[in-house]
Amino acid sequence: MFWSPVVAAAALGAVSVVAAPAASAAGGGIAVMSAAAVASFTPYAKFASAAYCPANKTRTWTCGSNCQATPGFIPHASGGDGDDEQYWYVGYDPTFLEAVVVGHEGTNPHELLPLLTDGNIVRRNLDPSLFPGVPSSVEAHSGFQDAHAKAAKDVLAAVQEALAAHKTSKVILVGHSLGAAIAVLDAIYLPLHLPSSISFTAVTFGLPRIGNSAFADYVDAHAHLSHITNKADPIPTIPGQGLGFAHPNGEKHIDESNAWIACAGHDNPNTECSTGAVPTIFSANLADHDGPYDGVTMGC
């Protein structure tokens, strides 16, 4: 879950008039994904869902059905308290992804501090101590940056440990909602502090907009991202385009028929993509936010 229904509806209503352009001939660039391509995202969804579980559960990989569905996973570290700091974990998956996996929790709507984090939409430059060399034109949501910073150094240390232990050069970053935003920030943070021989892939679910168009361009140039959106979920449409926010490339949208559509470009306005599918609050359905994503519903 990202925001409470009341907060999300208010935010969407405040920006929907200017957030989503109407679908038109300019909203092309879509392609139906194959069943095999869709199925390839299922392990990522299970790992993203597991991130909602408390740190003591992911540290021992005893987090219920999602842990049972990913046997052989070797946890290395976990942290967070689900309130001031989102839960996170780092481990190695030898079975499905053959990579180090970093998972970040989305918002717990029953806790106050994550809701305040989500609502802090003022954009600012990225912290140069965490993101050295990133151009000053790149701006991102203050709340998401604060949430990322709380665990950034601990996650980096755990990733370094896992990479060394398993002699791998692949890192996968996953998350849903607020966790998705943190995962994308990780996807540009970690490469700045690790050898260039390491490859990074971010796969996120229900991703809100994180930054301005320069941020989206920076992600396109420096990260390999797939962000999956579900039907009429309003969260990927906020904060609004009218407030200067933009999505990076890489959207895969689940339409009302449950087909998966690859959507080209930033905020593709085609009605088969999230921006076009949810033009106003009256088109939104917050129940779609948690999924299912190819059968996986987010949550511990």
User: Tokens for 97?
Assistant: 């992804």
Whether 27 is in a domain gets the answer no
Strand segments, DSSP code E, in 80-120 are: 88-93, 99-104
Q: What is the DSSP letter of 145?
A: H
Distance from C-alpha of 193 to C-alpha of 184, rounded to nearest angstrom: 15
Q: Is the CB of residue 145 less than 8 Å from the CB of residue 215? A: no
**pLDDT at site 282:** 87
User: Tokens for 45?
Assistant: 């969804």
Per the structure, the count of domains in the chain is: 1
Whether 300 is in a domain gets the answer no
Domain encompassing residue 60: 5-22+32-288
**Cis-peptide, bond into residue 71, ω within 30° of zero:** no
Average pLDDT, the chain: 89
Whether 295 is in a domain gets the answer no
For 256, counting Cβ atoms within 10 Å of its Cβ (0-12 exposed, 13-18 middle, 19+ buried), the class is exposed
Can you give the C-alpha Rg of the chain in angstroms?
18
Whether 294 is in a domain gets the answer no
* Span 126-130, average pLDDT: 98
Angle at 81 between CA 104 and CA 164, to 5 degrees: 50
* Span 268-274, average pLDDT: 96
Distance from C-alpha of 172 to C-alpha of 148, rounded to nearest angstrom: 16
Read off the pLDDT band of 296 (50, 70, 90).
Answer: very high
Read off the pLDDT band of 110 (50, 70, 90).
Answer: low
Distance from C-alpha of 189 to C-alpha of 183, rounded to nearest angstrom: 10
CATH code: domain of residue 229: 3.40.50.1820
**pLDDT at site 19:** 29
What order do you get walking across the sheet with 30-32 strand by strand?
30-32, 260-263, 251-254, 224-230, 199-205, 170-176, 99-104, 88-93, 74-79
The string of pLDDT tens digits covering residues 241-262 is: 999 999 999 999 999 999 999 9
Whether 163 is in a domain gets the answer yes
> In 3-state terms, what secondary structure has residue 257?
coil
**pLDDT at site 117:** 65
> In 3-state terms, what secondary structure has residue 119?
helix
Distance from C-alpha of 212 to C-alpha of 28, rounded to nearest angstrom: 22
**Phi, psi at 101, each rounded to 5°:** -115, 135
Q: What is the DSSP letter of 270?
A: S
Whether 277 is in a domain gets the answer yes
User: Tokens for 264?
Assistant: 């080209």
Distance from C-alpha of 72 to C-alpha of 29, rounded to nearest angstrom: 39
**pLDDT at site 120:** 79
Whether 298 is in a domain gets the answer no
Least confident of 60-69, 117-126, 130-139, 288-297: 117-126
Whether 167 is in a domain gets the answer yes
- What is the crossing angle of helices 142-166 and 112-119, to 10°? 110
Q: Is the CB of residue 168 less than 8 Å from the CB of residue 99? A: yes
